[in-house]
Structure 1
Amino acid sequence: MNAELKSKSELTRATIMLSVGMALSGTAGLFSVSTGQPTFNVVFFRCLFGAAALTGWVCLRGGWKDLFSIERKLWPLVLVSGVCLVINWLALFEAFHRTSIGFATIIYHLQPFWIVLAGGLLLREALSRHMIAWLWLAFVGLVFTILPKLGDMQTDRNWLIGVGLALVASLFYTATTLTTRAVKGGVKPDVLSTVHCLIGCIAFVPFLDVATLQGGDARMWGWLAGLGVIHTGIVYVLLYSSYPKVPTTVIAAAAFLNPAAALISDFLAFGRSITAMQGVGLGLILLAGLGVNLGWPFFFGKLRVSPRNF
């Protein structure tokens, strides 16, 4: 009985950690926009503060030698996955500025479907009729989210660019996921994330706009530090610590907290909201994502849950 209670307690604790991590990750857009800084500056300092926070965590858990434990043969994949991750941040944060936090997050959540398509096209993984049906449902959801803005596209070119950047961000996140899969067993997740942040620091330091930083106040630095310490350090630790302890169904369900937090923060901070049609589109995208992640059959056939990790 004690063992059973302990197991339930650990599951509850891990579920809470996962939920908090997902909800916090959805507020990254709020922090990014609130800095008032150019996107290159935002991503650079996210990487800098994130690297500092994660380095401290890695050293606390296993010692600083863990940072040098990556095998030489894995470095090409580590570098590619790191570059793709920071470009994903760059595109997504710029999309936040050009559209809105909530809307860009909706588009960004198409990433599971790019992973499925990439698996089918590049890795020769089979695409069932159910999987294809979920992909079509996600596409319908995307159309629903864009339809209310179709009339403004010709006059609001900035918004259209933002939509494109959100799609680019989701594609680069897909590339990060696929390359990270290949090194997953050879590198600890926290070490890999630390290296990714260091790669971002090196990649974006030439683009740093020092002039815009000179007039920044403590509040601006607080938003920048929060992106690194909270959204890259704390969030990553919460997610990576909870993933092995909770079932796939819980992970898939908790993923809804990310766009929910993004939409709520966008509304509370900037008064932006989505239309009813866009809400339906968001629901379709997230439902399709749940179906893909859990391996659900579409609405035809017998329901059979087949956990699938992305």
Structure 2
Amino acid sequence: MNGKFKIITAMLIFGSIGAFVKNINLSSSEIALLRGVIGSLFLICVILFGRRKPSFKSLKQNLVLLILSGSAIGFNWILLFQSYKYTTISNATLSYYFAPIFVIILAPLVLKEKLTPVKVGCIVTAMIGLFLVVNIGVGGTSSSHNNIVGILYGLSAAVLYASVILMNKFLRNLEGFETTLVQLIVAAIVLSPYVFIKDHMDFSGLNSPASIINILILGIIHTGIAYFLYFTSVKELNGQTIAVLSYIDPISAVIIAAVFLGETMSFMQMIGGGLILCATFLSERLGRADLKQCSDRGRYSG
């Protein structure tokens, strides 16, 4: 399997995550915990059977950042899954893809990067796109389908996603696969007491074969297999190819939601979504040019 086929497959898997989450009868925190547990167990098996040897010295050197970023990933999942519950998958995905814009905003403080006119243009373009998505979406909002709340959850998840991207830039001597495995383990550990306090660890929603199958698919396929495909493909492709093919994720998410869940977007919302994706794509290209390297995007939405 070549690199392009791997990453395209991974992006299609990530794009379908919302459709599965919407059909799991558990709280967002329970879903996030089980995803972390099942996904990390799968990747541990990959390491054992593949005879990979993690660099424990490097893991120890980066331990604090791995703990912080792993914790952010866990709560990022909770917020994203909450977004799916309140709004459409399209709105949740587009608001979540605001993360690179938040990276641009925070980069001058964290990475000491200059905020150039082009980057400001990306921010303004994304804001206009978000306004179109939110403003048009409010008209069709019902009490059980609160677009504003859902989009706010998506944006909050994007902030945590952005923090993970920034923290990952400070990691040293670690491969993306090792980083992701440790972060998933940390996410599962950190979420355990949270879920125990909030939901009492009863997992009563797993009362049907469908729910059990969906959570296993989420953990094994959407996390374990998709992450494995993504990180093995990264080694075979250049940064520009990865950036372009990564946008199969949000586009496929919108298509899957329309075909299988009957979700629709107005013409103006489509324009808004296009503006957001164009702005984030350009911002990522600028980020790679500034750093002269392909940073791991960290597939934590999916």
Aligned with residue 75 of structure 1, among 63, 71, 89: 63
CA distance in 2 between partners of 1:258 and 1:89 (Å): 16
Instruction: Point out the more displaced range, 253-262 or 146-155.
Output: 146-155
SS, match of residue 169 in structure 2: helix
1:101 and 2:92 aligned: no
Pairwise CA RMSD of aligned residues?
Answer: 2.5
Answer yes or no: is the 8 Å Cα contact 1:293–1:307 preserved in 2: no
CA distance in 2 between partners of 1:111 and 1:203 (Å): 22
Aligned with residue 118 of structure 1, among 100, 106, 121: 106
Aligned to 1:186: 173
The count of corresponding residues between Structure 1 and Structure 2 is 290
Aligned to 2:244: 253
Instruction: Point out the more displaced range, 145-154 or 283-292.
Output: 145-154
Shift of 1:121: 2.6
Map residues 1-310 of structure 1 onto 2, 5 A cutoff.
13-63=2-52, 66=54, 68-151=56-139, 158-183=146-171, 185-206=172-193, 207-208=195-196, 209=199, 210-213=201-204, 216-295=207-286, 309-310=294-295
Answer yes or no: is the 8 Å Cα contact 1:294–1:306 preserved in 2: no
Structure label with greater radius of gyration: 1
CA distance in 2 between partners of 1:96 and 1:132 (Å): 29
- The residue type equivalent to 2:28 in the other structure is T
Answer yes or no: is the 8 Å Cα contact 1:37–1:212 preserved in 2: yes
Answer yes or no: is the 8 Å Cα contact 2:134–2:148 preserved in 1: no
SS, match of residue 173 in structure 2: coil
Describe the shift of the 1:222–1:278 C-alpha distance in structure 2 as closer, same or farther (beyond 3 A).
Answer: same
Describe the shift of the 1:70–1:261 C-alpha distance in structure 2 as closer, same or farther (beyond 3 A).
Answer: same
Shift of 1:86: 1.0
- The residue type equivalent to 1:213 in the other structure is S
SS, match of residue 54 in structure 2: helix
CA distance in 1 between partners of 2:66 and 2:269 (Å): 37
Describe the shift of the 1:137–1:109 C-alpha distance in structure 2 as closer, same or farther (beyond 3 A).
Answer: same
- The residue type equivalent to 2:46 in the other structure is W
CA distance in 2 between partners of 1:73 and 1:309 (Å): 22
Instruction: Point out the more displaced range, 210-219 or 120-129.
Output: 210-219
CA distance in 1 between partners of 2:219 and 2:263 (Å): 25
Instruction: Point out the more displaced range, 66-75 or 266-275.
Output: 66-75
* TM-score of the pair, normalised by structure 1: 0.85
- The residue type equivalent to 1:33 in the other structure is K
* TM-score of the pair, normalised by structure 2: 0.88
Structure 2 unaligned segments of length 5 or more: list them: 296-302
Shift of 1:141: 0.9
